[in-house]
């Protein structure tokens, strides 16, 4: 062999000798250069590639050191015998890229998980970020407290008491990167000897999480007031995962009588707890905000969870959990060695964001924005009220359409998709077999402006006739 046709890239960040080395190594691994085959001399290859001889020598030395080639005095360089050692895959053993599924982009997407990122308070966040980083304080970049910085926990504590009626101390709060992490952390506190009951239909992410963490999991049917307590008792579960202020996906608000029954259930036996997921309580359009279930708890039975993902932005990745006294002691005993998963700098920015009043102003602005879209959607849906009933419209960022006609959910979704409108069926939120004879569609309105909402509903009016 006197030459190797290597397409060298002189302007690449990868040095020329490394490009030569990579090319020859891959050819040997793939069998394009057979074992025992002679390689070009450094002189001839450097002349052919129009590079310095030292560049080729560097590449050969690297191949020699890794055992891909062997040097014989007065004869030259030869590819080594590597087939008997192991079979190397093409592309230098790299893991093949996961095939990418082409995701269809819809002009109109009524996702119930939407957040309006255009309303994100960029200027305030940028200002506070600058202020936090202006101080040359080394402690800002230390690991920080496992539960989250005390200043942020104190700010969250004040907000929860004022806005949600939650009674807690900063010591009870744990800050983490999302609800999924906090639920996993909670499992290290409570242990595995529990049976978890979730509402049906429910937030499937929580169901999958408990299931994958090897918990015994069951679902409990709901009526118009929320989880049915008699069926919860019959399930023999000792942990109930509920969303009393705005159930997802049905949008049910649990009335006070059912809340008291749920608290009574928890207090009837030692070791029973309620996990209250208060994921989007900030957005309510009729009447006063519904106080958190935790505020009624006098026996340390409620584990309260909230997040800033819905109210600020998903990328903030900051949620919080309020542990009742007995579980807080277990946390200190079993789990306090785990470091916080949220950047200390980000925590300080959020702390200032809350304390300086930016969070409250942002919430007021976002509520008004979503209220306008909520009203626009309800007004646009008037033409469809001969075919369906609306529910869940008093809070959150989505509502439900319950159809009276004989069309199935899949048909409703397919007809809408054919015209570029993405809608979501209730059936996908059920766990296991269920009776849902009435087709139900979820429409979220957080990430579409008023004009697009009107256009999308006009299309739905046409295709759902």
The pLDDT tens digits of the residues spanning 148-188 come to 999 999 999 999 999 999 999 999 999 999 999 999 999 99
| The pLDDT value given to residue 103 | 75
The 3-class SS string of the chain reads CCCCCCCCCCCCCCCHHHHHHHHHHHHHHHCCCCCCCECCCHHHHHHHHCCCHHHHHHHHHHHHHHCCEEEECCCEEEECCCCCCCCCCCHHHCCCCCCCCCCCCCCEECCCCCCCHHHCCHHHHHHHHHHHHHCCCHHHHCCCCCCCCHHHHHHHHHHHHHHHCCCCCHHHEEEECCHHHHHHHHHHHHCCCCEEEEEECCCHHHHHHHHHCCCEEEEEEEECCEECHHHHHHCCCCEEEECCCCCCCCCCCCCHHHHHHHHHHHHCCCCCEEEEECCCCCCECCCCCCCCHHHHCCCCCEEEEEECCCCCCHHHCCEEEECCHHHHHHHHHHCCCCCCCCCHHHHHHHHHHHHCCHHHHHHHHHHHHHHHHHHHHHHHHHHHCCCEEEECCCECCEEEEEECCCCCHHHHHHHHHHCCEECEEHHHHCCCCCCCCCCEEEEECCCCCHHHHHHHHHHHHHHCC
What is the pLDDT confidence band of residue 92, given thresholds at 50, 70 and 90? very low
| The pLDDT value given to residue 89 | 52
The yes-or-no verdict on residue 402 having pLDDT over 70 is yes
Q: Higher confidence at residue 178 or residue 289?
A: 178
The yes-or-no verdict on residue 93 having pLDDT over 80 is no
Q: How many CB atoms lie within 10 A of CB 245?
A: 25
Q: Higher confidence at residue 451 or residue 89?
A: 451
The stretch 14-34 carries a mean pLDDT of: 88
| CATH 3.40.640.10 domain span(s) along the chain | 136-359
What is the pLDDT confidence band of residue 247, given thresholds at 50, 70 and 90? very high
What is the pLDDT confidence band of residue 235, given thresholds at 50, 70 and 90? very high
What is the pLDDT confidence band of residue 144, given thresholds at 50, 70 and 90? confident
| CATH 1.10.10.10 domain span(s) along the chain | 16-93
The stretch 48-75 carries a mean pLDDT of: 89
Nearest CA-CA partner of 147 in 356, 308, 323, 352: 323
The stretch 45-70 carries a mean pLDDT of: 89
The yes-or-no verdict on residue 420 having pLDDT over 80 is yes
Q: What percent of the chain has pLDDT over 90?
A: 60
| The pLDDT value given to residue 189 | 96
Nearest CA-CA partner of 387 in 412, 367, 363, 365: 412
Q: Please tell me the class of the 108-114+362-463 domain.
A: alpha beta
| The pLDDT value given to residue 248 | 92
Q: What percent of the chain has pLDDT over 70?
A: 93
Q: Across all residues in the chain, what is the average pLDDT?
A: 89
Which neighbouring-strand residues pair with 322? Answer: 173, 304
In b/e form, how buried is each residue of 151-172, taking b as 16+ CB within 10 angstroms?
bbbbbbbebbeebbebbbebeb
Third-level CATH fold of 16-93: Arc Repressor Mutant, subunit A (1.10.10)
What is the pLDDT confidence band of residue 102, given thresholds at 50, 70 and 90? low
Task: Output the six-digit token pair for 188.
Answer: 């290290």
The stretch 402-416 carries a mean pLDDT of: 91
- For the stretch 360-384, pLDDT in tens is 999 999 999 999 999 999 999 999 9
Q: Please tell me the class of the 136-359 domain.
A: alpha beta
- What CA–CA distance (Å, rounded) separates 4 from 69? 15
| The pLDDT value given to residue 142 | 76
What's the predicted TM-score (pTM) here? 0.77
């Amino acid at each position: 062999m006197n030459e190797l046709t290597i397409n060298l890239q002189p302007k690449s960040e990868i040095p020329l000798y490394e490009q030569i080395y990579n090319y020859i190594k891959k050819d040997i691994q793939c069998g394009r250069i057979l074992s025992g085959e002679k390689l070009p001399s450094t002189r001839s290859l450097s002349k052919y590639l129009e590079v310095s001889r030292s560049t080729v020598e560097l590449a050969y030395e690297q191949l020699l050191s890794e055992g891909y080639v062997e040097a014989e005095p007065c004869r030259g360089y030869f590819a080594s015998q590597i087939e008997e050692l192991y079979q190397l895959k093409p592309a230098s053993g790299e893991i093949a890229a996961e095939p990418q599924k082409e995701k269809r982009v819809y002009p109109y997407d009524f996702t119930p998980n939407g957040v309006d990122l255009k309303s994100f308070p960029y200027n305030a966040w940028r200002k506070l970020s600058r202020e936090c980083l202006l101080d040359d304080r080394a402690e800002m970049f230390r690991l920080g407290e496992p539960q989250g910085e005390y200043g942020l926990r104190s700010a969250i504590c004040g907000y929860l008491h004022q806005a949600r009626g939650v009674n807690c101390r900063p010591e009870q709060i744990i800050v983490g990167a999302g609800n999924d992490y906090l639920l996993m952390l909670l499992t290290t506190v409570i242990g595995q000897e529990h049976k978890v009951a979730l509402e049906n239909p429910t937030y499937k992410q929580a169901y999958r999480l408990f299931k994958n963490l090897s918990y015994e999991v069951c679902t409990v049917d709901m009526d118009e007031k929320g989880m049915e307590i008699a069926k919860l008792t019959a399930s023999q579960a000792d942990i109930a995962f509920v969303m009393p202020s705005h159930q997802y996906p049905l949008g049910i608000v649990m009335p006070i009588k059912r809340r008291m029954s749920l608290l009574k259930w928890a207090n009837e036996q030692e070791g029973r707890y309620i996990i209250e997921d208060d994921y989007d309580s900030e957005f309510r359009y009729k009447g006063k905000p519904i106080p958190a279930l935790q505020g009624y708890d006098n026996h340390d039975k409620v584990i309260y969870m909230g997040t800033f993902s819905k109210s600020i932005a998903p990328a903030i990745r900051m949620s919080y959990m309020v542990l009742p006294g007995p579980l807080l002691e277990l946390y200190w005993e079993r789990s306090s060695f785990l470091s916080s998963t949220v950047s200390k700098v980000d925590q300080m920015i959020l702390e200032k964001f809350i304390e300086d009043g930016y969070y409250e102003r942002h919430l007021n602005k976002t509520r008004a924005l979503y209220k306008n879209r909520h009203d626009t959607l309800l007004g646009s849906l008037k033409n469809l009220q001969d075919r369906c009933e609306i529910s869940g419209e008093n809070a959150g960022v989505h509502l439900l359409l319950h159809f009276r006609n004989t069309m199935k959910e899949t048909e409703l979704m397919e007809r809408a998709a054919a015209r570029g409108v993405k809608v979501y069926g209730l059936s996908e939120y059920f766990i296991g077999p269920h009776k849902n004879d009435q087709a139900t569609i979820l429409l979220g309105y957080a990430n579409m402006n008023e004009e697009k909402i009107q256009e999308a509903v006009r299309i739905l009016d046409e295709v759902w006739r």
